[in-house]
Structure 1
Amino acid sequence: MSTLAIATAKEVFDLLHDDLRAIEREFGGDTVSSVAAITEISEYLREGGGKRIRPSLLLLSAKAQGYTGGGMIRLGAVVEMVHTATLVHDDIIDAADTRRGRPSANTTWGNAKCVLAGDWLYMQAFRVALEERSFRILDLLIGLTQQMVEGELLQMEKLGRCISEDEYNALIYRKTACLFEVSMRLGSVLAATGVDVQSNGHLHSDSASTPITSMEERMGEYGRSLGMAFQIVDDVLDLTASEEVLGKPVASDLREGKATLAVIHALENGTDAERAAIQTVLTDQDFHRVTHAEILAILGRHRSVDYAMNIAFQYADAARNALSVLPESDYKRALLWVPDFVVARDK
């Protein structure tokens, strides 16, 4: 594959196949508890699949910087455990009935057990991360967990309200992009532990030497920008895709009183009547007085979905630009491809 550009999801999967399988095994082993409910809930969530984007990013970040050790398998499982814990808590907070086309865990085991299982997953993620004996790794994971909790609380405070684009950006950074950022940074931290002592703290590429701290910053910027693009597209799909494709009810965000980027754009550019219609849905948290089709018509008149997607494309470009410090490799080419996948996906 080294003579070809990375162009498909299959090529990226083939590149990471063995490592992703190892992460799945690690995840499965790490989530076995003496309490049956924890093991059952964790296994159910793991079997739910998902794109495994976050551990894939960690693998690509580490490998693109020359890392080959086992830490990336452990930390790949860690970021997936953290992500899974957030999904459990999100479904409880949102009173969700489905997740990826299946009943959400809380509909089977109940909210109380799922809250505790989510807490256990967070703590287990930290326990596994401790095996790396790195304060920097723990610092990143602690900051990540705090940011995500803050994001949930901020979102709850703003339900039913029109928020600004800046407030929206702060929310989606905490809820989504920070985990993408930390996944990339963790790859850099692992790679930095294997730097040749003769390099005086620099990673070497064909073109130039880049300080380790700068490399971590650039990888973090890639992850942040990619995560912002990912969540904006996710929010657009929530408004425009079908329930069959999404695997959950459409327009869930509006039903929960959440104003996402396309909606914010329409609120800022619409007529008084259009703003009132959108606010009615946000306040009512249903489509009884104003229909989903009417909201889509308002968004269409103001090209609000196009506006949101253009912002996502800008973030995708910023992610690609952050990779200029990396030496050429299949792993870099895969990272360059991922933003295209993120903005082109349909679910």
Structure 2
Amino acid sequence: MSSFSIATSGEVLELLRDDLAAVEQEFTVQSQSPVRVVTDIAEYLIAGGGKRIRPLLLLLAAKALGCKDEARIRLGAVVEMLHTATLVHDDIIDEASTRRGKPSSNTTWGNSKCVLAGDWLYMQSFRTALEERNFRMLDLLISLTQEMVEGELLQMEKLGHLINEEEYFDLIYRKTASLFKVSMQLGAVVAYPPSEGMLPYEEALGEYGRNLGLAFQIVDDVLDLTAQDVILGKPAASDLREGKATLAVIHALERGTGADREAIRTVMEDRGFDRIRHSHILEILRRHGSLAYAMDTAQAYAEAARQSIAELPETEFKRALMWVPGFVTSRDR
């Protein structure tokens, strides 16, 4: 590993303050529609905030390779629009009532309008990307969207069923890490003139994004089990209530007693904690070291992300990329 130092959160914020503000403005502009309800839903979602980690990654990747092209701002908005579209559809599929501590958009506008607004955001993101006239960008975005949809369909098929770690990692790659990977790859693409084939550092940056995205989702899944509702901005243990087996749960199922496994299965079948308390599930997970196992796995992927960019030129933007994995694994929401 390079001995090059890791940036601080303040340094990263200062590096990208203007670019992130420009991405936010671009997202707002691109979300305007002559059909008022589309704009209303998009503005509601934008106002809901979020970490904006996907555009942040794209910007850091592009600037680490010396990019000064304003296309990085438009593509930052593209990946955030795609992410937002997936959230709209996820809330409908999961019948979620809250998102980031506020009523979910489908609670406010209903499923029918929101699924169409999500579709509109998908198409608007592609329309914005199309203006770059770069086939590599479109290839990445089309493949990404297919993977995310396939991931959602696979997850729906497996709800309420026990899955193994291989199936879990396939799911979280498709649903989460693929967008992290493509955000990093787009950063490489926008830094160079259009060309055929793999660009310098595109593979390394994509691997960074894949590893980081896996770490991000594992931590998300642990927080879903352990954090308080008020911190999460949604009901705790939502995944288990919805019949989703995440890494810590899979680990406990493989190592638990018959009674432990039956308790977890009961919650997944009931889709709630009517017969088995949430605290009892947490006790099982802690007794078998399952939460620690999941967090150790996330830390390993975070370190793999750092290793992936060891050969990247030593710049302040690389220092910032070295900071992101620590932020991902130490957050509380």
Whether TM exceeds 0.5 here: the answer is: yes
Counterpart-to-counterpart distance in 1, 2:217 and 2:111: 26
Q: What one-letter code is carried by the residue in structure 2 that aligns with 1:123?
A: M
Contact 1:239/1:251 (CA < 8 Å) preserved in 2? yes
Q: What one-letter code is carried by the residue in structure 1 that aligns with 2:39?
A: T
Say whether 1:233 aligns with 2:233. Answer: no
Q: Give 1:163's aligned residue.
A: 163
Q: Give 1:213's aligned residue.
A: 199
Q: Give 1:61's aligned residue.
A: 61
Q: Give 2:180's aligned residue.
A: 180
Q: What one-letter code is carried by the residue in structure 2 that aligns with 1:31?
A: S
Question: Which of 280, 287, 290 is matched with 2:276 structurally?
Answer: 290
Please report the TM-score for the alignment, with normalisation by the length of structure 2: 0.97
Residue 213 of structure 1: how far off its partner (Å): 3.4
Say which is worse superposed, 271-280 or 225-234, in terms of deviation.
271-280
Q: Give 1:271's aligned residue.
A: 257
Q: What one-letter code is carried by the residue in structure 2 that aligns with 1:179?
A: L
Contact 2:92/2:111 (CA < 8 Å) preserved in 1? yes
Contact 1:230/1:343 (CA < 8 Å) preserved in 2? yes
Counterpart-to-counterpart distance in 2, 1:316 and 1:156: 28
1:131-210 equivalences in 2 (<5 Å): 131-193=131-193
Contact 1:105/1:114 (CA < 8 Å) preserved in 2? yes
Please report the TM-score for the alignment, with normalisation by the length of structure 1: 0.93
Deviations 1:206-256 (A, max 9, x none): xxxxx9535111100000000000000000000001111111100000000
Say whether 1:321 aligns with 2:304. Answer: no
Counterpart-to-counterpart distance in 1, 2:94 and 2:117: 17
Residue 6 of structure 1: how far off its partner (Å): 4.7
Counterpart-to-counterpart distance in 2, 1:49 and 1:177: 20
Say whether 1:261 aligns with 2:254. Answer: no
Q: What one-letter code is carried by the residue in structure 1 that aligns with 2:328?
A: V
Question: Which of 211, 232, 255 is matched with 1:246 structurally?
Answer: 232
Q: Give 2:319's aligned residue.
A: 333
Q: Give 1:82's aligned residue.
A: 82
Counterpart-to-counterpart distance in 2, 1:54 and 1:218: 17
Counterpart-to-counterpart distance in 2, 1:256 and 1:214: 42
Say whether 1:301 aligns with 2:287. Answer: yes
Change (3 A) 1:214 1:63: closer
Residue 268 of structure 1: how far off its partner (Å): 0.4
Residue 7 of structure 1: how far off its partner (Å): 4.0
Residue 324 of structure 1: how far off its partner (Å): 1.2
Counterpart-to-counterpart distance in 1, 2:51 and 2:204: 24
1:98-117 equivalences in 2 (<5 Å): 98-117=98-117
Counterpart-to-counterpart distance in 1, 2:270 and 2:8: 42
Helix, strand or coil: the match of 1:221?
helix
Q: What one-letter code is carried by the residue in structure 1 that aligns with 2:21?
A: R
Counterpart-to-counterpart distance in 1, 2:63 and 2:199: 17
Helix, strand or coil: the match of 2:205?
helix
Percent of aligned pairs with the same amino acid: 66
Deviations 1:46-81 (A, max 9, x none): 111101000000000000011110110000000000
Deviations 1:239-276 (A, max 9, x none): 00111111110000000000000000000000111111
Counterpart-to-counterpart distance in 1, 2:245 and 2:200: 35
Contact 2:23/2:73 (CA < 8 Å) preserved in 1? yes
Contact 2:54/2:80 (CA < 8 Å) preserved in 1? yes
Q: What one-letter code is carried by the residue in structure 1 that aligns with 2:41?
A: I
Q: What one-letter code is carried by the residue in structure 2 that aligns with 1:119?
A: D
Helix, strand or coil: the match of 1:325?
coil
Structure 2 regions of 5+ residues with no counterpart? none
Q: What one-letter code is carried by the residue in structure 2 that aligns with 1:222?
A: Y
Counterpart-to-counterpart distance in 2, 1:67 and 1:296: 47
Counterpart-to-counterpart distance in 2, 1:7 and 1:238: 28
Residue 194 of structure 1: how far off its partner (Å): 8.2
Counterpart-to-counterpart distance in 2, 1:96 and 1:276: 26
Helix, strand or coil: the match of 1:343?
helix
Contact 1:65/1:191 (CA < 8 Å) preserved in 2? yes
Helix, strand or coil: the match of 1:213?
coil
Structure 1 regions of 5+ residues with no counterpart? 196-200, 202-210
Q: Give 1:32's aligned residue.
A: 32
Contact 1:6/1:12 (CA < 8 Å) preserved in 2? no
Contact 2:215/2:302 (CA < 8 Å) preserved in 1? yes
Change (3 A) 1:321 1:6: closer
Deviations 1:186-219 (A, max 9, x none): 0011112289xxxxx9xxxxxxxxx953511110
RMSD: 1.4
Contact 2:98/2:104 (CA < 8 Å) preserved in 1? yes
